[in-house]
Amino acid sequence: MFRERAQREEKVQIQGAVASFDFGSKTAQISYCLPGAEKPETVSQVTGQEQYLVPALLARRTDKDLWLYGKEAAAAVEEGQAWPVSDLLIKAAAAQPVQVGEEAYDPVALLSLFIKKCLTLLTPVIHPDRLEAFVFTVEEVTKPIMDALFTAVTLLDLKAGKVSVIGRAESFFYYNISQPAELWSRDVMVCDFGGNYLKTYLFHANRRTTPIASFVEEAEWTDVEPIVWTEDEIEDNRSKMKLDVRFSSVIEGLLKDREVCTIYLLGEGFAGEWYEKSLQILCKNRRVFLGNNLYSKGACYVAKERLAPGSISKGYAFLGKDMLKANVGMHVSRRGRDAYLALLDAGINWYEAQKECAFLLEEENTFSLRITPLNGKEIREVVVTLTGLPKRPAKTSRIQMKVDMTDVRTVRICMEDMGFGEFFPATHKYWEESFQI
């Protein structure tokens, strides 16, 4: 568990409780923050112990219609008493029926059941329906994963309006800036060994900008795999030495020419104290922490910020890989004056970017959107033509428009002809177009 010290910066008190659910490929974890508390706590499966990781597994008993989860499910499967269902989030995103024994099940219903059972761990502290905000953090945010999670929570006590989904890089960013300033005065690195291979996240802040632009670089090292422990001491020692050499090589490459002051080691892959050589490199003029609840705590800080933005995060802009890198808007006329209507703002997650508006066409069947990149590249106009729109005088065609994104680079606009009262009845003709940022 990471030992956190109280922030010296001004705190914003929130009125309600928040919680988070970290969903990894093999494990899940829940953290929470009660009203007035400055830092989150993580739910343990055993009172008084730091058993935070819940195996991301469901199992149905072979002898009766009974579903188990987590460690209980894993034990029943190992004893041959239950059928397992793993990769719950992936299967729910794929939206294909899951065969369990002789029956097929809706994968989203199974995902919802697993989340519900996990939330029983939180109930002794606070009932889920009393939460003001709930944040899921996942390894990578995709539209199918978001749809699966939002559908799953509709089957629970959680209201969809309270729920959001973020990636682990963003969770790391918020955890990081919520720590004492000396822990992130320079770059910060996470080594995540909780899955089938090593993942790294590197935090860097450009303190010459206002607000301070912050980035998290992500990398995967598929040739750095956890040790499969045996009862052969000689073979295990060989595996430890081999992994230590490979990990130290990766670390040396990452730390070269970087001023990293803090490193977090996450995941069960670091069990067994195999990294003797690597630790000498890691600890050279740096703080090193070993734990496994960084992501869920980071997501709790996100939930708190979304309820009541604090003084720390206001000064930092996180520009992650899921962030929109350009402003999207259009020029309009308001009360006879030229104006700019912002549709999508740079710096927000693409999957949260959306806007609805209505406007009157200045021309017969065309209008344009303005794309302003953050990287200083040339501003461009995207001309949209509404083919098949009835011919009408200027400003007598009211268009209802919804703008969102289908991925980090693709903007989608959906438009509907609403006419102009009794003079020009609505045809409700519908158009959909997409273009690249």
Quick: pLDDT tens for 392-408: 898 889 999 999 999 88
- pLDDT of res. 375: 67
Average pLDDT over every residue of 309-326: 81
- CATH superfamily, domain 171-295, is ATPase, nucleotide binding domain (3.30.420.40)
| In the predicted structure, residue 39 carries a pLDDT above the cut 50 | yes
Pull the structure tokens for residue 180: 């004492």
Q: Where are the domains of the chain?
A: 17-167, 171-295, 326-436
- pLDDT of res. 249: 96
Residue whose token pair is 């490459």: 253
Peptide linkage before 211 cis (omega within 30 of 0): yes
d(CA 411, CA 434): 5
Average model confidence (pLDDT) across the chain: 90
Whether residue 277 contacts residue 244, with contact meaning beta carbons closer than 8 Å, is answered with: yes
Structure confidence at residue 4 as a pLDDT band (50, 70, 90):
very low
The more confidently predicted of residues 98 and 213 is 98
Pull the structure tokens for residue 222: 């598929």
Phi, psi of 343 (to 5 degrees): -105, -55
> Strand 27-33 to strand 41-42: parallel, antiparallel, or no bridges (unpaired)?
antiparallel
SS3 state of residue 276: helix
Q: Do 17-167 and 326-436 come out as alike in CATH topology? A: no
Whether residue 131 contacts residue 17, with contact meaning beta carbons closer than 8 Å, is answered with: yes
The domain 326-436: what is its CATH number? 2.60.34.10
Average pLDDT over every residue of 118-143: 92
d(CA 290, CA 191): 10
| In the predicted structure, residue 12 carries a pLDDT above the cut 60 | no
Nearest to 166 by CA among 30, 18, 296, 14: 296
**Paired residues of 405 in beta bridges:** 411
Contact partners, residue 381, CB within 8 Å, separation at least 6: 368, 369, 370, 371
| In the predicted structure, residue 116 carries a pLDDT above the cut 60 | yes
Longest C-alpha distance within the chain, in Å?
A: 88
Instruction: Report CA dihedral (147, 161, 45, 14) to the nearest 10 degrees.
Output: 150
What's the pLDDT tens digit per position in 239-287? 999 999 999 999 999 999 899 999 999 999 999 889 999 999 999 999 9
Structure confidence at residue 15 as a pLDDT band (50, 70, 90):
low
Whether residue 209 contacts residue 280, with contact meaning beta carbons closer than 8 Å, is answered with: no
The listed CATH number (2.70.240.10, 3.20.20.10, 3.30.420.40, 3.75.10.20) that belongs to domain 17-167: 3.30.420.40
From the CB of residue 437, how many other CB atoms can be counted at a distance below 10 Å? 20
Q: Is 208 exposed, middle or buried (0-12, 13-18, 19+ CB in 10 A)?
A: exposed
- Helix locations, 79-163, DSSP H: 88-94, 107-119, 143-154
Whether residue 150 contacts residue 33, with contact meaning beta carbons closer than 8 Å, is answered with: no
Least confident of 103-112, 312-321, 342-351: 312-321
